Amino acid sequence: MPDLGTYSFEVLSSYAVTLALLAALIWLSVSRARKVRRALEAAEARVKNG
């Protein structure tokens, strides 16, 4: 690990915040995609059956 000097806390905390935000964005995207897929399948089923 490189020597970060006096700014090690700031650098490491910014990395942690960035990783947390990326994880949240990925989780929200996946959950939204699943919700949209379910809605699309339901709409297709209504059209097919109806």
**Amino acid identity at 46:** R
47 pLDDT exceeds 90? yes
What is the C-alpha to C-alpha distance for residues 50 and 44, in angstroms, rounded to an integer? 10
pTM: 0.74
16 pLDDT exceeds 80? yes
Task: State the chain's mean pLDDT as an integer.
Answer: 94
What is the C-alpha to C-alpha distance for residues 41 and 46, in angstroms, rounded to an integer? 9
First-last CA distance in the chain? 62
Confidence label for 29 from pLDDT (cuts 50, 70 and 90): very high
**Amino acid identity at 23:** A
